[in-house]
Structure 1
């Protein structure tokens, strides 16, 4: 369809035409020029009394090698301007679907022209999602997460507001739009693992912390005097950092500066986020899994510490190829990676390092923020793709203009008017592309050949490195005996040594761990021969919640008086007296004069700490003859034990057993 003809002065990058048909701002055009069709775009339309004139930018044409080229000569006046066909736009903008592309939505005003983003480029060269509050940042991020999960790529989300748990549930409210965009509702409940105050607890490693790292993580800034006292205390201790030992050592130091330090260390200890039994990095980053770190309800200064330590440990694990390539998403990134003029967050340095070096190690990053002016500008500029929705704050707009290439004054003005549901994609082509974002499947809670060749190699890096990792690293969570296979072969001559894997579950309690053999229900206390103690469960279904509470207190005491139960339980005297008599009558307590003790049939619960497992799970590959069959359900074991002890975490693993 002819829209008009070129008028006035034109250049190799811009021209104007007299509009004869219907034309809209940002409409795509095609113009025949020297035997090639050229793609152009309307950037402004002006109308006076007798005519309408459209100002246009030229994107270029594809040569015989399918490389986008700029014009060398300007359009002649009088050349016809046509409405661009969908296939032509798709060809010039490289919107073709491929194996590793992500379906973002449709080109604005072109419902049949789907827009696909190259995942290799997104994952290796980072992406920013920027918009004012309520303009659809998290929604767009959710679309990207769905596309990435569908390709089995591990994701870890830093989620300050708990917005991403809705990935567990299908989109049941937007059926008409789902049909329009050609997709189906879906849930990712089997792929989502949430960590947080009201979910699975995240435990950060306190192993091998250096004095400087510990000081960096303290939520308060120390004076030079306090710094000296803390260094003195830490240097008096060994390499292993233990908060109780630090406090004891500080108490021995001279001067009043130690008391503030003790309060700070006590505060960190009470947060209960550091542990000798930390959450494994292999647990957080798994193929076809998304780990959501829900920071809702956690003080901002502690959030910074968590993001710093977690990102640092993940980056180190990725460098050593202990975990597969993965995608890190940081919501409200201006809080964790602020522009330097707004101060430094605890997490700033490590996130900058990931932004600059992550692509070399297969760690992609998505930065999401509603305040671009408060976000580190170097990180915005390092991202190869920006997805921008409506922004109205003048400081934020100015920040974008200074950070991004290709933003014209026209597009900068247009950012203020982007409707909800539309995103401006910067980095897909030389000029921004406006895309109507597809509905979520889940619920919403340079031109030279050499440069292009290098870019293509880099873009393959993430997907290929992920696949290489999968081929090389068929890792199992294993607990191995101290005597290895070679030692056994020497001891037993050349006889065949059978390797069996015993399915186990490691339950993490506050200050100890229990290793359960799921073939026989034993708590393993000797990993050399996989032996342990078989414990008998006592029926407690007929106990009231108050009776269970008193029983739980009694288990922690083992031997006690009624007054002990009264002070520890917080219950009323008459209630404690009655329940003590009832539990004695049921044979759970044994009364000796004015004291009580647990009956042997339930007394084992007070001795669980004696069966604590002190080893560790190692992820490695292993040739084995057989995996034994599970006969016990760990969820039922947890459900029973939870009546008496607080279980923080559970880790599936295999105990390696060698048999001559």
Structure 2
């Protein structure tokens, strides 16, 4: 279908077209021009179909004189004014022998411009083993990204609420379908619901590793106290950088513990470090007995431990307090959690519930262990190996890899190494952030594939422009106008920059915005408890209320005097019917005070 003509600024890379103002042609749509190009192989000129994408679109009044007030013009000639629709078109090339080639000659002025056929567009983006994340924003055509593009690392960038976590979940689904092993660094526990919904996608395994005992997870992540450095341990404990004496006290206890482990082979944890400092406070005789108990060889500064206990008892007391606080977290132990217990098809590292220093320590520790395990496998070295490539998805990447000039983190070093060397060893990085200007430019520039969603902040736009050689100025200008769920994909993931409308996800996640109307609604708990008391002559047990909070509402309805509530409990559906105020559960039976009934009572209060 012809929609316009080439009118100006025609080069082999772009041209300006005037379009029929009555035809609805949209931004980012694809057009074609009949073109003549020299065929070097055949030694002659050939007719080809030159494809392009509309990257800028506007309308203009053709007959309005610029020296007249616009209102006067419109009042006098509004019935006769001529409207033109102008499009700037980026030339993509022409397909020859299954390959996309770049023209060496510009299209002719006056050449007709046609809407590209669906088949021509599908040919542009056809890939083997594609990651089918959505459809074109301008056409109802599926877009599949190149799986091998993940090997060059990926950055997912968007303003808050633009759909970056949604896209991340869709990408996870597609990678799982291809057999990938994924580790998600999750600072807020947003990805934890994937564990309970993984069955919807297929027979995949999911493990949630928690750092705080008060949050959801299948197992606690433990870090061996002596696996890192004493300075990092002090940082994780929250010791101020300027508290040199407190840090030195921790260093002395840590150093002695390391000597003891080397001499005896026994595991040593925070309790041992605290015991060393407690012993120092009891005096020189107690310390001598401790030193005699373990035959330590080497240059450990025993005298320094004696002196700090005499002259800086406050520093030792403070060090004990910090170590006690660290021990309460339950993260640090005598041994680190084995990677073999953690890794599944998807492993979610739930960092919620601990401070940023501990999160930084944990991320650094995990990333380094995964990287080293892959290095051992590729180079056939001794030690723990991971036999398959790993995709490492880091949410809120600006927390862990900020610019070095802003602040220094331990996890930056680990992530920077993966970004620069990971593809050689099969560790592929996917960073997710709403503030690309707060991510270290060296890390983000290593992510050659980029998924860019709506960005408004000028500093973040500039950071995206500097990190991407493929993002045209027109795409950059249009970023604030992207709808929620739309993304510009460029780099090795896509043959050409493409604007995608992300498909619906299958897996659940907890990153959606809070609905204030629901959150500020009158608390229903008192009403539910009162109804429960009338039914069962007792208050609902906390265990029932907790179990009810994990259930998911599928549907609720009212038929006459009967209310029905359909719930999702794991991999099964449970219905509860309430008639004349008395509930009946299809799983637990009539009159049973189960958690299904409690959830149904909560929901039934809203059914009108």
Q: Could you tell me the TM-score, scaled by structure 1's length?
A: 0.60
Deviation of the 1:219 alpha carbon: 3.8
Within the candidate set 494, 498, 512, 1:433 is matched to: 498
1:73 aligned partner = 105
Structure 2, unmatched stretches of 5+, are 37-46, 62-81, 262-267, 281-304, 378-384, 511-608
Deviation of the 1:115 alpha carbon: 0.8
2:35 aligned partner = 33
**1:204/1:309 contact within 8 Å kept:** no
Matches within 5 A, 1:352-367: 352-367=416-431
Once the two structures are superposed, residues 578-615 of structure 1 have per-residue CA deviations (whole angstroms, 9 ceiling, x without a partner) of: xxxxxxxxxxxxxxxxxxxxxxxxxxxxxxxxxxxxxx
Provide the C-alpha distance between the structure 1 equivalents of 2:196 and 2:331, rounded to a whole number of angstroms: 29
Give the 3 Å change call, closer, same or farther, for CA 203–42 of structure 1 in structure 2.
closer
Matches within 5 A, 1:374-393: 374-393=438-457
2:515 aligned partner = none
1:128 aligned partner = 155
Residues 1:115 and 2:115 aligned together: no
- The 3-state SS of whatever aligns with 1:48 is strand
2:120 aligned partner = 88
1:308 aligned partner = 364
1:421 aligned partner = 485
Aligned residue pairs, count = 425
Provide the C-alpha distance between the structure 2 equivalents of 1:169 and 1:116, rounded to a whole number of angstroms: 27
1:344 aligned partner = 408
Within the candidate set 435, 438, 441, 1:371 is matched to: 435
2:332 aligned partner = 274
**1:281/1:317 contact within 8 Å kept:** no
Once the two structures are superposed, residues 87-135 of structure 1 have per-residue CA deviations (whole angstroms, 9 ceiling, x without a partner) of: 212223xx2252x321111111211x2111112221x211111111111
Provide the C-alpha distance between the structure 2 equivalents of 1:236 and 1:27, rounded to a whole number of angstroms: 68
Within the candidate set 279, 283, 292, 2:341 is matched to: 283
Structure 1, unmatched stretches of 5+, are 172-184, 446-660
**2:239/2:247 contact within 8 Å kept:** no
Once the two structures are superposed, residues 386-409 of structure 1 have per-residue CA deviations (whole angstroms, 9 ceiling, x without a partner) of: 112111122211211221122233
Deviation of the 1:267 alpha carbon: 2.0
Matches within 5 A, 1:222-241: 222-223=241-242, 224-239=244-259, 240=261, 241=268
Deviation of the 1:431 alpha carbon: 5.4
Provide the C-alpha distance between the structure 2 equivalents of 1:190 and 1:60, rounded to a whole number of angstroms: 41
Which sits farther off after the overlay, 391-400 or 424-433? Answer: 424-433
Deviation of the 1:279 alpha carbon: 2.5
Residues 1:186 and 2:200 aligned together: yes
Matches within 5 A, 1:501-512: none
Within the candidate set 127, 143, 161, 2:188 is matched to: 161
Q: Could you tell me the TM-score, scaled by structure 2's length?
A: 0.65
1:398 aligned partner = 462
- The 3-state SS of whatever aligns with 2:220 is coil
Once the two structures are superposed, residues 343-374 of structure 1 have per-residue CA deviations (whole angstroms, 9 ceiling, x without a partner) of: 12231111111111111111111111111111
- The 3-state SS of whatever aligns with 1:269 is helix
RMSD of aligned Cα (Å)? 2.5
1:42 aligned partner = 54
2:288 aligned partner = none
Give the 3 Å change call, closer, same or farther, for CA 207–360 of structure 1 in structure 2.
farther
